Amino acid sequence: MIIWKWTKRIVIGLFISSLLYIIICKWIMPPITITQISNSFSYGLKRDYVNWNEMGYNIKLAAIASEDQLFPDHNGFDWDAIQKSFKPKAGKKKKSKIPLGGGASTISQQTAKNVFLWQGGGYIRKIPEFYFTQMIEWIWGKKRILEVYLNVIEMGKGVFGVEAAAQYYFHKPAIQLSRSEAAMIIACLPNPKKFSVVPMSSRVAWRYPQILQQMSLIEDDEDLLAIIKSK
């Protein structure tokens, strides 16, 4: 009984503290993340949080085009992609190119993981990731999720966020990034330590023209424009 009482108190305490932090982060950028801390020991920490209006149109469009084209419409999860990821593939396994769209992990899930959790962890991380993803969808909304995502995502060795990436790679603020430059930065995902923007790795060189094409294809979507053009 004593163990149950303490377990209950701990669970309630964790829920309340996490909820308060989620609410705070709706208005204030996360001061630090686990990923940023772990990277700072090896690569240092380059970051410069900027607000929504300082990011620019191109990087927002590139992120959605590459990582999560259903971002304006889903509730945090791409259930079709998740279901497909559990289906065993028949026949011989062949190497295939990484598809555009971020696979089964949405921008909302990636934001939850990067802000509140840690890299790796497999299925152990999935339960809290589900919780945080659903909470930021309810409390933050799409615009804030994308704003935080583009500020905290790793875009190079020790480089976090679009402003730091724009300054580091192209020596200009994020708001001045061209469509090609924005696509190049996003093309380093999901492994920015391996896929270099400058000098350009072969993977980034292959990927960024595809992202540019996708940007043009989805650009007239009204739901998407309602997010990235909002003030």
Quote the Cα angle for 123-207-70, to 5°: 55
Helical segments of 47-161, H only: 57-67, 79-86, 107-116, 126-139, 142-152
Helical segments of the chain, H only: 2-25, 34-43, 57-67, 79-86, 107-116, 126-139, 142-152, 162-170, 179-186, 202-218, 222-228
Q: 117 lies in a domain? A: no
User: Is the pTM for the entire model greater than 0.85?
Assistant: yes
Q: 17 lies in a domain? A: no
Average pLDDT over residues 151-168: 96
Q: 9 lies in a domain? A: no
pLDDT digits (tens, 9 = 90+) for 83-140: 665 565 555 444 333 444 555 689 999 999 999 998 776 677 788 999 999 999 999 9
Query: CB atoms < 10 A from the CB of 98, how many?
Result: 13
Quote the Cα angle for 220-225-229, to 5°: 135
**Spatial CB neighbours of 162, under 8 Å, sequence gap ≥ 6:** 50, 55, 59, 150, 151, 155, 174, 177, 185
> How many residues does the structure list for the chain?
231
Q: 64 lies in a domain? A: yes
Q: Number of structural domains, the chain?
A: 1
User: Residue 179 CA to chain centroid, in angstroms?
Assistant: 19
Average pLDDT over residues 150-177: 96
φ, ψ (nearest 5 deg) of residue 154: -75, 130
Q: 21 lies in a domain? A: no
pLDDT of residue 200: 95
Q: 39 lies in a domain? A: no
**Residue 230 sits in a domain of what CATH number?**
1.10.3810.10
The whole domain housing 56 covers 44-69+142-231
pLDDT of residue 92: 44
The residue written with tokens 């990927």 in the block is 207
Q: 15 lies in a domain? A: no
pLDDT digits (tens, 9 = 90+) for 174-202: 999 999 999 999 999 999 999 999 999 99
Q: 37 lies in a domain? A: no
